Chains A and B, each alone.
Chain A
Amino acid sequence: MKKREIRNILKQLVDIPLPDKEKVLSACSEPKMVELVQIRKLKLKPLVAISFVLVLLVLSVSAYTIAAQVREYNEAVIFFSEYDLPIGGLTRGEIRKVYRDIRTMTFNYDKTAQVIESAVGGYEIFQENPTAEDLKNLWNYKNGMLFVQERTNSPVSYKYYTVEKLNERLGFDVHDKSVFEKYEKNELVWQVEFRNFWIEDYVMNRDRIIVYGRLPTYSSAQKSYAWIACIDSDGTVLWETMLYNGFKSEYIGAVVPTDEKIAVFSRGDLRYLCLNELDPDGEVINFHKTDVGNYGIWNAAKLGGDYIVQLGSYMTGEYAKIIKVNSEGVIIDSFLYDSDDNYYYVRDMIEYNEHVYLSAYSVPAPDKGEKDADKNAGGRHDIAPILRYIFDNNRMDISKEELTKLVRDQFTAVLLVCDPISGTPKEFYSVKGSLGSKLTINDSQELSWDVESITETFFSPMTSSFTIGGASYVYRYVFDKNGTLLSQEKTGEVVNFRR
């Protein structure tokens, strides 16, 4: 089939009769008289061209040098306009220098900081004078490049990716292999390849790495199986196994490895919570499934001889449903962590010093009237009061500064600790204007809690994937075994905020 034939078939779409025009237009709003926004670009071009010609005629100096300077200035003006950078107060020379500083990613010129800071706006962006690195982070963030600063406390890092290749029969690219790599000080140490599954995530257990994922499929008619593999510290694959529990579709939600066994929590046919226990050689020694309905498995951690598992549902807005599962896989307790005053959203959990810690964030619970009003929040319950404020007051043009303050007032990062016997969580530590993020145990065996401090937000009602977007700087809090806060630091990492 040729493109022309496809195009001809698509042309048949023209023949579909249109619905009634009056009916469609009857629901449209009355026009609001507003001042027109004119595109400046159209006027700038002739102006720049005229000034270019004038400069050439009047000065009559080295044509090549001037042309080059003007060209650079023109490029700089377009660049400033494209990236919405403020030009006011800068001379032509300064504009060129800032342009060059950003283009070369040097960020050493002092005016660059002024320009980028005022372009991004924001709240608590810099606690001290911005370094070149800070500016580079912010610039990358502003242009949609998520920049993750390498963690300086560990020179070892892991990376995984998928390689695709063209399937001649199907005519499109399919999974060829998934590659898992270990780096030390950014140098590749080893890599292993998996052809049976594409990698979704991995967990560490002392010197072993447990990698898991699922069978690559390209049609909904195919069955989808979960796979798990174990790699030792030298990059040797010790074993690789497929979970076969009789489901049409199964994927692994969380893996909790210990020295004696590996607990694998999988989700079967989108409704069963399964506990698969594997011995250190990858043999299944225990399996139990429970019908829990349409809940995703978001996290799991060991609590004494049992497990704490976080189930969640984006559909029902349940983000803090915690269940306690015994070693047989049977649910022995279940609770939704909530209070009258706040809603909680759990994002990570970890076992540390015989307790389970939950990293979460809370938002104020609405009163009854507000609850009814927020029913149409489109699943975005955590920002419903902010959206209500914007729409009720017709503040579609709300500034970044005002919005950021509202968002920071709404969110609080909380670190919860579960009772070692019952598993019931209680609040342990909180940080206003932030979201709780990753929990890890660092090389000194201390508990490390990452907190995303909401730095800058903007309102975007016309995007389909988020309504409030922005960025957060990551702060790291470190606690000892007694729960004493040992240190806090700004990591330099910038992450997206999307709601």
Chain B
Amino acid sequence: MRNQNINKVCDKAMIAFLKGDKGALGVIYDCMAKLIYSTAYGITGSVQDAEDVLQNTMIEISKYAHTYKAGSNPKAWMLTIAHHCSIDVIRKRKPDIPIEDSKLPETSGTQPDFSQIEVLELLSLLDPEERRILIYRLYTGLPYKQIASVMGISVTSAQKKYQRSVKKLKACYKN
């Protein structure tokens, strides 16, 4: 679904949800779950954690729906919630290690197929913040302004960090 359509559909669904239609949450799930889940998987590197992020994000969306501004950008709003949920999940996983130092976990539980291993290998070359920024830019397709808003950093900082991540990957693959 194109970005504009996602925003239109999600906006309508959020309004319906706020008017009491719980089924509207299913529509939001259909539009956003894939994006939130796969983004969270890329960030956390674990199917279990990605499931937790998706579930927590949906709970937070329903809980804080009243703070949503109709007609705004629901995709960015939901991704911001998912971003915080991902950070919380990583924090809970390794409580004595600062979030900046967290590593991708060894793959366990559901056995990933070959392609997923390739993704994890690529992302494991980056630190958590670089991983997030690369996924938001190249996978989720967010513009820098929205990345900055989701991650709570400046636009310039988002651009610099993204360029640095790409450079780092290029250098690693060159070697």
Q: What residues of chain A have their CB less than 8 Å away from a CB belonging to chain B?
A: 1, 3, 6-7, 9-16, 18-19, 21, 24-25, 27-34, 36-39, 42, 169-173, 220, 294, 315, 461-465
Contacts and interface: CB of A to CB of B under 8 A. Distances in A.
Contact of A16 (B18, B29, B58, B116): B116
Interface residues of B, number: 66
Given A31-B62, A462-B81, A463-B152, A38 B71 contact: yes
Contact of A24 (B22, B29, B135, B139): B29
B139 A31 contact: no
B71 A172 contact: no
Interface string B110-146: 0001011011001000000000001100110000000
Given A9-B119, A11-B139, A25 B58 contact: yes
Contacts of A11: 139
Interface in B38-54: 38-39, 41-42, 47, 50-51, 54
Contact of B26 (A3, A15, A25): A25
A260 B66 CA distance: 64
A24 B55 contact: yes
B65 A32 contact: yes
B44 to A, nearest CB: 12
B96 A315 contact: yes
A14 B38 contact: yes
A163 to B, nearest CB: 15
Contacts of A16: 37-38, 41, 47, 50, 116
Given A1-B169, A24-B29, A32-B18, 14 more contacts: A6-B122, A6-B134, A10-B134, A13-B139, A19-B51, A19-B55, A25-B25, A25-B58, A30-B22, A31-B24, A32-B65, A32-B66, A39-B69, A171-B172
B59 A29 contact: yes
Given A1-B173, A463-B152, A31 B20 contact: yes
A50 B138 CA distance: 40
Interface in B139-173: 139, 152, 164, 166-173
A36 B134 contact: no
B76 to A, nearest CB: 13
Interface string B56-91: 001101111111111110000000110010011000
5 contacts: A19-B51, A24-B51, A25-B58, A29-B63, A37-B69
A6 B166 contact: yes
Contacts of B119: 9-10, 12-13
Given A10-B138, A29-B63, A38-B70, A172 B41 contact: no
B33 interface: yes
B103 to A, nearest CB: 8
A489 B164 CA distance: 46
